[in-house]
């Protein structure tokens, strides 16, 4: 049986600013401009990027937002809970995993401009993949503070406290 440490070491994962561990694995060799999209970006973007992402027992990926769609794929370990707040303020959750009969799904789409994060609500770890299109760039990444989100969405206090820092 593989462990979180096994994947961190053998996939050369590094600490991620939003929580957990990651490594960019692939990036498109093509670029795209805002003229080709409905979303306005500064300059060109890589068409798509892909990473490994790993959370361990009790860890969370803090609430953040991207200007791009992000597709999540389950790879190994325990299920991972993905939380999303739509631009209209609706909270949805998905269990990323392989036990489909138990409501888990092997892939989840986080639409652009949704505020989202994830949490290990089960023992163990979860290794997933994330593909972002147009490709991920930190200049399109917003990490949220707790008070800001609580002012906007007080009805989601429990999950906001769980997935934010002070």
Helix (H) or strand (E) segment spanning residue 161: helix 157-162
Q: Which of 160, 63, 47 is nearest to 110 (CA)?
A: 63
Report the domain count for the chain.
Answer: 1
Structure confidence by residue, pLDDT tens digits, 102-141: 999 999 999 999 999 999 999 999 999 999 988 888 888 8
Torsion of CA 79, 116, 72, 14, to 10 degrees: -80
0.75 exceeded by pTM: yes
Domain span including residue 155: 4-163
CATH number of the domain enclosing 118: 2.60.120.10
Structure confidence by residue, pLDDT tens digits, 64-105: 999 889 999 999 999 999 999 999 999 999 999 999 999 999
């Amino acid at each position: 049986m593989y462990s979180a440490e096994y994947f961190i070491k053998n996939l050369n994962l590094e600490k991620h600013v939003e929580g957990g561990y990651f490594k960019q694995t692939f990036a498109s060799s093509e670029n795209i401009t805002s003229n080709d999209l409905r979303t306005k970006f500064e300059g060109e973007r890589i068409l798509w990027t892909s990473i490994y992402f790993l959370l361990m027992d009790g860890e969370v990926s803090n609430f953040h937002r991207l200007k791009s769609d992000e597709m999540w794929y389950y790879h190994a370990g325990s299920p991972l809970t993905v939380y999303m707040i739509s631009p209209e303020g609706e909270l949805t959750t998905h269990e990323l995993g392989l036990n489909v009969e138990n409501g888990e799904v092997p892939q989840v789409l986080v639409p652009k401009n949704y505020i989202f994060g994830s949490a290990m609500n089960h023992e163990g770890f979860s290794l997933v993949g994330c593909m972002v299109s147009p490709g991920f760039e930190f200049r399109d990444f917003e990490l949220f503070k707790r008070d800001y989100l609580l002012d906007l969405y007080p009805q989601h206090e429990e999950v906001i406290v769980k997935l934010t820092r002070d």
